[in-house]
Amino acid sequence: MDEPGLAVPVQSVGDPLVSEVTLTFESFILPTAEALANEQELREGFAKEFGPAVKLALDDPEVRFSLVPGGSIIVGGQRVTIQRVSQKGDWINANVRGTSDAARQVVQTVVKVLDRVGSVNREWDYYEKHVVRTSFGTATTVRLPGTLRDMLAPAVDGLFSDVVEERLASRMVPRRTHGMAKPAFARVLVHGIECQVLVAEESGTSNKYKLEFHHMSSEDLAAGTCYVISELDYDGHMELVDHLLATFSASDDLPGS
């Protein structure tokens, strides 16, 4: 299934919260072709729902259409910025600076516009019944009372301190023909931990999902600022973040404590 991945951290570095939702529908359910036949009306429909700044883009060969920048939408009484919306095949993807619920609301609104412009005249309930898959992605910025290196197992941390820093780091320095200054200090800086979560089903099929932790810059590393990326919905992602912070709070369990 050709679905998009979470469009972070490259497009969203520094955002406190980014959520992405992809709804995949049964084949031939989305009225995209009918709506695109009335291109100007479609542009006006999206502008009405998401604001005049939104632009309908039809020149991206990777998708059927996209909305960039995404404009905004009111969800739960709060305005949510939409970073990008795209549609290809049977899926619609929304990336917002907000929660998973807000991203899903954007997808629902896009479908309503397609339906109205395409003169199909079906309610959202009809389309919702034909959703076959919902995929999530969430990214948050969190301040840790330490660094990602503190999360490593003692054996790995020992490898860094006793072998790399103590003995081998100086051998990474390029050799100079006319004398070399003796290194005074070496430290392995862990800027990222990238994982794949393998989930195997009883049917025998399996899929891998993204789970990443990043200090995006040296300044972030020094401040303990960490960018956490997962393919969880907002609620699950925040549960993960809570447990991450609790891990640091239980300092006795961390290497070097």
Domain ranges of the chain: 19-129, 141-169+186-252
pLDDT tens-place string over residues 137-180: 999 999 998 899 998 999 999 999 999 999 999 889 888 877 77
For residue 151, the 8-state DSSP code is G
Please check whether residue 103 is in contact with residue 93, taking contact to mean a CB–CB distance below 8 angstroms: no
- pTM of this prediction? 0.85
Q: What angle do CA 66, 69, 75 make, to 5 degrees?
A: 95
Tokens for 190, please give them.
């862990």
As a whole number of angstroms, the distance between CA 233 and CA 209 comes to: 12
- CB-CB neighbours of 109 under 10 Å: 20
Please check whether residue 214 is in contact with residue 191, taking contact to mean a CB–CB distance below 8 angstroms: yes
pLDDT tens-place string over residues 203-254: 999 999 999 999 999 999 999 999 999 999 999 999 999 999 988 877 555 5
CATH T-level fold of 19-129 = TATA-Binding Protein (3.30.310)
